[in-house]
A and B are shown apart, each in its own frame.
Chain A
Amino acid sequence: AQSVTQLDSHVSVSEGTPVLLRCNYSSSYSPSLFWYVQHPNKGLQLLLKYTSAATLVKGINGFEAEFKKSETSFHLTKPSAHMSDAAEYFCVVTLFLSYNTDKLIFGTGTRLQVFP
């Protein structure tokens, strides 16, 4: 069965320091994995996606994530946090439904706080 676990409900960093948001997944087949960001009172925005191409995926706003099959992980990183990065981040794994259509399984979310 497909599932995703976000290991930290809250992460706090200082502006300019690295960000690490952890995500582990469980999948019975090679999954697609996504990271979405949700700013307060805003919609969901796709940060990046892994779909069995390169294991290191670069996304928007300087974020990247590395797919590690041996560790079943897909951690999100950014070298230097910015105040505008403060938001809720969701790790998402797909469950195959039919050709070109999957169901999304959301993690519980990680709230990132960035202090000046």
Chain B
Amino acid sequence: SAVISQKPSRDICQRGTSLTIQCQVDSQVTMMFWYRQQPGQSLTLIATANQGSEATYESGFVIDKFPISRPNLTFSTLTVSNMSPEDSSIYLCSVGGSYGYTFGSGTRLTVV
């Protein structure tokens, strides 16, 4: 299965600023997925990122708040824009298929 390197692992940010999270995969993958895990909660899919096209966002998530880039088949970024304390969560990227899905180690974001 693929190996994902995600960074940063954690950050503390001021409200109103933006943070870009990076995920690098050790093999080429068609789709990458971005999730949010709020404190004590399960994972919620933010968007699906396909190389060469705009990301597809789930209900409740918008591109202006969570812009995603997917410049090639091994890399993607998620930006959390104009942050507020409500954005404090763990953000994870994922790749995979019917054989199973691999997750990055997560970015623990705290907005103060």
Contact = CB atoms under 8 A, between A and B. Distances in A.
Nearest to B106: A43
B92 interface: yes
Q: How large is the interface on B (under 10, 10 to 19, 20 to 34, 35 or more residues)?
A: 20 to 34
Interface stretch (B41-49, B66-74, B79-87): B41-49
Given A34-B100, A46-B100, A97-B48, A107 B42 contact: yes
Contacts of A94: 98
A109 B92 CA distance: 16
The bracket for how many chain A residues form the interface is 20 to 34
Contacts, number: 48
A108 B30 contact: no
Contacts of B103: 43-44
B101 interface: yes
A36 B41 CA distance: 14
B31 interface: yes
Given A32-B98, A46-B100, A106 B42 contact: yes
7 contacts: A34-B100, A43-B92, A44-B43, A46-B102, A49-B99, A51-B98, A51-B99
